[in-house]
Amino acid sequence: MSLPPDLQLDTLAVRAGQERSQFNEHAEALYLTSSFVFESAAQAAARFAGEEEGNVYSRFSNPTVTVFQERLAALEGAEGCVATASGMAAILALVMGLLKAGDHIVASQGLFGATIQLLTNILPRFGIQTTLVPQTDAAAWAAAVRPETKLLFAETPSNPLTEVADIRALAQIAHAHGALLAVDNCFCTPVLQRPLDLGADLVVHSATKYLDGQGRVLGGAVCGRKALTDEVLKFLRTAGPSLAPFNAWVLLKGLETLKIRMMAQSAAALELATWLEAHPGVARVFYPGLPSHPQHALAMAQQKTGGAIVSFEVKGGRAEAWKVVDACKLLSITANLGDTKTTLTHPASTTHGRISPEARAAAGVSEGLLRVAVGLEAVADLQADLDRGLSGR
């Protein structure tokens, strides 16, 4: 369907990409079909040869997945988008589609744990090496670049400490060396931050988080110039970690409420972070929307809000942190995030539990650290729940 030009993000999130069938359905149709039928032998041959546009098999393309891809591309301001089975499948497909043995990656030490595992334990077996550098030190990123560096990979704000990377500075470093910059935009989503506008070449998503927004399905995506996403698609259609049509349908309905959720959850996060910072049981709060955050100015320049993730250190160590977790009757004890239900994690014993205590300390993940992914409940109810453990009641 052709939409009028120059639509705003709110409108694109609801309307972009939809194509109605002959039944003129209002909501997007869910095409649960693995393959598509041809009119003739000649058409089958033309479709397989790529001489004629059209669906062939849902590992390559599916109309419901296509709507999700076009809608997310519109929101990110991207020319192309390829959907994947999960966020990790998106990162794998990006690397497999665009890099080869002998290439080198520079990435942040603060990346999502499975991303670090992929880059440092799996890809080296296939001849792709990665150097990890501190998230906020642009000079360290520049110093780590080698002649064979093809990709800089960042995630901002980082998990769980919400460190902010300077996307413009990293794009300049990448482009000065003929490399690409990819940004994992999971924490901000295009509502709060559009990495391509800041100079990044590629955006990666774990759609599992805020794009779904209600903790139902796994999914992922890679967005960028079509010349790049076409290479990612070549890997995907052959190797197979494609997004299921049902998941695409759930995700594209999630996109329709993305803006109101992100704005409401960020506002609640700021309120909770401000309250935590004043709480006598709290030693330190990590939230980019607070003036006390080391990269507050940068965060406010490149993001619309501080986001919906708040981390804080309780006074004391593991025992005091676990007391807060165990006193909660409302917040869910789970490592997932991006849900309308607020979640609470003790990173040192869960998401960061498998790394050595020394590496954990170097990453700033202390025993007293807790991470809250703020949902849509009343902030007063969240405060009362956390206060039980923090005040020892």
Structure tokens at 106: 């520079």
Q: How far is the CB of 159 from ligand PLP (least distance, A)?
A: 6
Say which amino acid occupies 363: A
Distance of CA 282 to the CA centre of its chain: 28
Shorter beta-carbon distance to ligand PLP: residue 206 or 295: 206
Specify whether the CB–CB gap between 165 and 156 falls below 8 A: yes
Q: How far is the CB of 220 from ligand PLP (least distance, A)?
A: 5
Shorter beta-carbon distance to ligand PLP: residue 150 or 205: 205
- CA pair distance 175, 38, nearest whole angstrom: 44
Residue 32: C-alpha distances to residues 116, 177, 201, 246, 287 (Å): 34, 44, 33, 7, 41
Q: Which residue is nearest to ligand PLP (CB)?
A: 87
Shorter beta-carbon distance to ligand PLP: residue 159 or 162: 159
Q: How far is the CB of 157 from ligand PLP (least distance, A)?
A: 10
- CA pair distance 363, 352, nearest whole angstrom: 10
CB-based contacts of 81, cutoff 8 Å, min separation 6: 69, 70, 72, 73, 221, 222, 223, 229
**Rule CB under 6 A: which residues touch ligand PLP?**
86-88, 112, 114-115, 155, 159, 184, 186, 206, 208-209, 218, 220
Q: How far is the CB of 20 from ligand PLP (least distance, A)?
A: 30
Q: Which of 82, 86, 123 is nearest to 102 (CA)?
A: 123
Q: How far is the CB of 314 from ligand PLP (least distance, A)?
A: 23
Shorter beta-carbon distance to ligand PLP: residue 96 or 142: 96
Specify whether the CB–CB gap between 223 and 101 falls below 8 A: no
Shorter beta-carbon distance to ligand PLP: residue 112 or 235: 112
Shorter beta-carbon distance to ligand PLP: residue 142 or 344: 344
Where are the extended beta strands (E) located within 230-288?
Answer: 282-286
Shorter beta-carbon distance to ligand PLP: residue 86 or 265: 86
Q: How far is the CB of 243 from ligand PLP (least distance, A)?
A: 11
Residue 375: exposed, middle, or buried by beta-carbon count in 10 A (0-12, 13-18, 19+)? buried
Q: How far is the CB of 114 from ligand PLP (least distance, A)?
A: 6
